[in-house]
Structure 1
């Protein structure tokens, strides 16, 4: 467990949270995490166990000794991609797909913007008011019959 701090900081950055929120997430006191991040204290085995318990996708080998990828599921994906690269063209990155989606209006947006008419409201059944009851904060009430 030598020099875990850079990997913990990388994990914090990847998660997009600060030390206090991370401490809350893994179930340790905020000062414990603050002291670890400021290099005042070293990471304890308990903290490592809590990180791995809360984030099961984080590779224990990566966290403990810096071997492999941060996430467990990345290794099979990378190996499969290397095997498939010779046989198929790679898929575009997810970021490109997201930007393409932002540029194209959805069907709902097109339908709403293309039609100038308002859909007709359902006709209400013939109703008549029969009774109104007003309740007051002191427990009293008034009733009006029509």
Structure 2
């Protein structure tokens, strides 16, 4: 069963992460502003249509995270679909890595500079 309070908190996290106000979020998802307001206030529970609209708009959304709090937001990309580079293809390029920046879900990051 969906815990409304937890769902509302995760919805707010999603909106904060993308820096959406309730109005801009409603416009992005394609629902009325009042629908967002009623859900955020706890007056109404989210409909399946509402949840599916959110899921279709945000590719980085793990639906299981939104509904149950399981998983992460944003969801980690599937590295299995990334192209596989072999050693010779990496070293044959004239390009060199200058720095690598890793961003974490808590807002922190690490930077590795060559």
**Shift, 1:18, TM fit:** 0.8
Q: 1:60–1:72: structure 2 CA closer, same or farther, 3 Å change rule?
A: same
Q: Which residue of 1 aligns with 2:46?
A: 43
Whole-angstrom distance in 1 between the partners of 2:3 and 2:53: 18
Q: Give the conservation status (yes or no) of the 8 Å contact 1:69–1:75.
A: no
SS of 2:43's equivalent? coil
Q: CA RMSD in A?
A: 2.3
Q: Which residue of 2 aligns with 1:16?
A: 19
**Count of paired positions:** 84
**Shift, 1:71, TM fit:** 2.0
Q: Give the conservation status (yes or no) of the 8 Å contact 1:12–1:18.
A: yes
Normalised by the length of structure 1, the TM-score is 0.51
**Shift, 1:74, TM fit:** 5.5
Q: What CA deviation, in whole Å up to 9, does each residue of 1:50-109 have, x standing for no partner?
A: 000011220011011000101222686xxxxxxxxxxxxxx5556675xx9xxxxxxxxx
Q: Which residue of 2 aligns with 1:144?
A: none
Q: 1:75–1:10: structure 2 CA closer, same or farther, 3 Å change rule?
A: farther
Whole-angstrom distance in 2 between the partners of 1:96 and 1:62: 25
Q: 1:28–1:93: structure 2 CA closer, same or farther, 3 Å change rule?
A: same
Q: Which residue of 2 aligns with 1:59?
A: 62
User: Which gives a bigger RCO, structure 1 or 2 (Cα 8 Å, sep 6+)?
Assistant: 2
Whole-angstrom distance in 2 between the partners of 1:21 and 1:92: 30
Question: Which structure has the greater CA radius of gyration?
Answer: 1
Whole-angstrom distance in 1 between the partners of 2:43 and 2:13: 18
Normalised by the length of structure 2, the TM-score is 0.63
